[in-house]
Chains A and B, each alone.
Chain A
Amino acid sequence: MPKPLLTFPKGGVHPPEFKELTEKLPIEQGPVPKELDILLVQHFGAPCKPLVKKKAEVKEGDLIGKVEAGLGANIHSSATGIVKNVGKAPHPVSVTAPAVTIQVDSEAQAPSYEPKDWTSLSREELLAAVKKAGIVGIGGAGFPTHVKLSPPSEAKVDTLILNGAECEPYLTTDHRLMLEHSREIIEGAKIILTILGINTCHIGIEANKMDAVEAMERAIAEANLNGFKIQLDPLQVKYPQGSEKQLIQSITGRKVPGFGLPFDVGVIVQNVGTTKAIYDAVVFSKPLYEKVITISGRGINRPANLLVRIGTRISDIVQYLGGVKPNLAKVVLGGPMMGFAVPSLEVPITKTTSGILFLTEDEIDTNPYGQCIRCGWCLDACPMGLSPNEIGIYVEAGRAEDTSQFGVFECFECGCCAFVCPAKRPLVQFIRLAKSKAKK
Chain B
Amino acid sequence: MEQDTIQEKVPTPLAVSVSPHIRSGESVEKIMWTVVVCLLPPLVLSIFIFGIQTLIITAISVASCVATEAISQKLLHRPITIKDGSAVITGLLLAYIIPPGVPYWMPILGAVMAIYVAKHLLGGIGFNIFNPALIGRAFLVATFPVAMTSAWLPPIKHGSVFQYMGSGVDAVSTATPLFILKHYGIAGVIEKFGSLHSIYSSFFVGWRPGCIGETSALLLLLGGGYLLYKRYITWHIPVSMIASIALLTWIFGGERVFTGNPLLAILSGGVMLGALFMATDYVTSPSQPTGKILFGIGAGALTVLIRLKGGYPEGVCYAILLMNPLTPAFEQWFGPKRFAPPKGAMK
Contacts and interface: CB of A to CB of B under 8 A. Distances in A.
**Interface range on chain A: under 10, 10 to 19, 20 to 34, or 35 or more?**
35 or more
A432 B22 contact: no
Interface stretch (A38-46, A108-116, A215-223, A419-427): A419-427
Interface in B122-142: 124-127
A10 interface: yes
B146 interface: no
Given A375-B287, A426-B18, A428-B18, A255 B339 contact: yes
Contact of B10 (A328, A367, A413): A328
A342 B19 CA distance: 11
Interface residues of B, number: 50
Chain B binding surface SS class: loop
A359 B19 CA distance: 13
B16 A301 contact: no
B37 interface: no
B81 interface: yes
B339 A370 contact: no
B20 A374 contact: no
A377 B339 CA distance: 17
B232 to A, nearest CB: 8
Interface in A318-341: 318-319, 322-324, 326, 328-332, 334, 336-341
A322 B345 contact: no
B272 to A, nearest CB: 22
Interface string B17-38: 1111111101110110000000
A366 interface: yes
B193 interface: no
A180 B339 CA distance: 36
B11 A322 contact: no
Contacts of A332: 19, 21
B1 A258 contact: no
B19 A363 contact: no
Contact of A336 (B21, B27, B31, B342): B21
Given A364-B21, A376-B282, A405-B347, A370 B81 contact: yes
Interface stretch (B169-177, B306-314, B330-338): B330-338
Contacts of A122: none
Given A169-B22, A413-B19, A322 B3 contact: yes
B6 interface: yes
B119 to A, nearest CB: 11
Contacts of A79: none
Nearest to A414: B20
Contacts of B75: none
A15 B22 contact: yes
B31 A428 contact: no
A423 B282 CA distance: 13
Contacts of B4: 301, 322-324
B19 A15 contact: no
A371 interface: yes
Interface in A410-437: 410, 413, 415, 418-424, 426, 428-429, 432
B3 A341 contact: no
12 contacts: A10-B336, A301-B1, A323-B9, A330-B14, A337-B19, A341-B18, A371-B127, A373-B125, A376-B288, A384-B339, A410-B339, A422-B27
3 tightest CB-CB pairs across the interface, nearest first?
A: A376-B287, A323-B4, A415-B20
Interface of B: 1-6, 9-24, 26-28, 30-31, 81, 84, 124-127, 282-283, 286-288, 335-343, 345-347
Interface of A: 10, 13, 15-16, 169, 245, 255-260, 301, 315, 318-319, 322-324, 326, 328-332, 334, 336-345, 357, 359, 363-367, 370-377, 379-380, 382-387, 393, 404-405, 407, 410, 413, 415, 418-424, 426, 428-429, 432
